[in-house]
Amino acid sequence: MKKNKKISMKDISKELGISITTISFIINNKAENKISKEVIKKVKDYIEKVGYKPNSSAQSLRTGKSKTIVFMAEDISDPFFSAIAKEMETIAFNNGYKIIYCSTENKKERALELLNLFKDRQVDAFIITPPEGFEDELKNLIYGENQVVMVFDRHFDGFKHNYVVLENYNGAREATKSLYDSGKRNIAFIGIKSVLSPLSNRLEGYRDSIKKYNLKEYSLLILFDNIKTEKGRDDIKFFLEKHPEIDGILFATNNLAISGLRVIKNKGLLIPEDLGIISFDDRDVFELFTPPISVIAQPVQELAEQLIKGTLKLLKTKPFKEDAFYQKALKGKLIIRKSQ
């Protein structure tokens, strides 16, 4: 029962009296009009029979390709990113790729550390949600080191790169409009202090929308590190107390909304009577909340598909042509529930 030794091409070669080269050609489908049908069948049958699988380390060493993609997420334990990860997983596996995940925690240093770890590890491509201030590293990775990199969830203006993102600006406009349509006239935006595109675009969308309706802007931007902490909740609390006239809130992320909802609940404010609420990103807590919270849901399935398929496509056409960037912005879906 104990299989001690893995079978290799050499073994097959010896057993069948066929050269290793021939076997390699057959395995890699390069046998077309080189090798006779009979030999191909013989080898394929034998391979099937003994369950031979090529040694991937040897393949990697020889070809320089590892069939590995790194997904550097902001936080892989965040439901949004882990849902994306799971969808990608399957497609990647089906294409012979494996994915390695890691979390940057939105820290530049952490991201750099991880990047260095992987740069030397024969990785074929990076799918990455870069933290703030990572432009130079990213630029170098793409243009200096010539790596395949797909940027996710955010994008930069200074240089061309592949990306898959949400239509954040439009999403924020739609969300603001829906609060307005529910009769809210003092609509606040609670976001994160950051220049990253999803955050800044959402703020922009909110602002333009507010302006259009001639409303006053109320915006609170809290620090990324404080989102889930007491400090962040206090920020929100003080903000609401300072502007008691606020009657609607657009939260820029799900975690922000969760902190916000805790504050609102503690203060005994009524949703939607006192405050209309809408948040970016859907999570089951929003549906189960009393009352259920409206959201701009990200199309997780579609995002994941675009991400991984785009990356695989880039991998196939590498070295890439200047004009062949993969850039997608997908629409969010407004789901109106009872919170406005």
Partner DNA sequence: ACGATCTAGTAAAACGTTTTACCTTAAAGC
Partner DNA sequence: GCTTTAAGGTAAAACGTTTTACTAGATCGT
Instruction: Identify which range of 14-22, 100-108, 221-229, 324-332 contacts DNA by CB under 7 A.
Output: 14-22
Amino acid, res. 158: G
Task: Pick between residue 252 and residue 264 the one whose CB is nearest to a second copy.
Answer: 264
Cα separation, 147 vs 125, in Å, equals 7
In angstroms, the Cα distances linking 252 to 2, 219, 279 are 56, 11, 6
Annotate 122-166 with DSSP letters as a single string. --SEEEE---TT-HHHHHIIIIIS--EEEEES---SSS--EEEEE
How far apart CA 222 and CA 325 sit, in angstroms, is 34
* Dist. CA 202–CA 204, nearest whole Å: 5
Q: Six-digit token pair at 96?
A: 């012979």
Q: From the CB of 144, what's the least distance to a second copy, in Å?
A: 5
Q: What is the DSSP letter of 225?
A: G
The span of 23-31, 156-164, 262-270, 323-331 binding DNA (CB under 7 A) equals: 23-31
Q: Which stretch binds DNA (CB under 7 A): 27-35, 103-111, 236-244, 307-315?
A: 27-35
Q: What element of type H or E holds 251?
A: strand 248-251
State yes or no: residue 146 binds DNA (CB under 7 A): no
**Partner that binds at residue 199, options DNA, a second copy, none, CB closer than 5 to 8 Å by kind:** none
Query: Would you say 36 or 146 has its CB closer to a second copy?
Result: 146
Do the beta carbons of residue 198 and residue 224 sit within 8 Å? no
Interface pick for DNA out of 20, 50, 195, 324 (rule CB under 7 A)? 20
Instruction: Give residue for tokens 């920020």.
Output: 235
Size of the site for DNA (CB under 7 A): 29
Which of 295, 297, 296, 299 lies closest to 338, judged by CA? 295
Residues near a second copy, by CB under 8 A: 1-3, 53-58, 60-61, 66, 75-77, 79, 82-83, 85-86, 89, 93, 98-103, 114, 117, 119-122, 140, 143-146, 258, 261-262, 265, 283-285, 287-290
Output 119 or 331, the one with its CB closest to a second copy: 119
Stretch that binds DNA, among 25-33, 110-118, 146-154, 304-312 (CB under 7 A): 25-33
Nearer to a second copy, 34 or 265 (CB): 265
Judged by the rule CB under 7 A, the positions of this chain that interact with DNA are: 6, 8-10, 17-22, 24-25, 27-28, 30, 33-36, 38-39, 52, 54-55, 58-59, 61-63
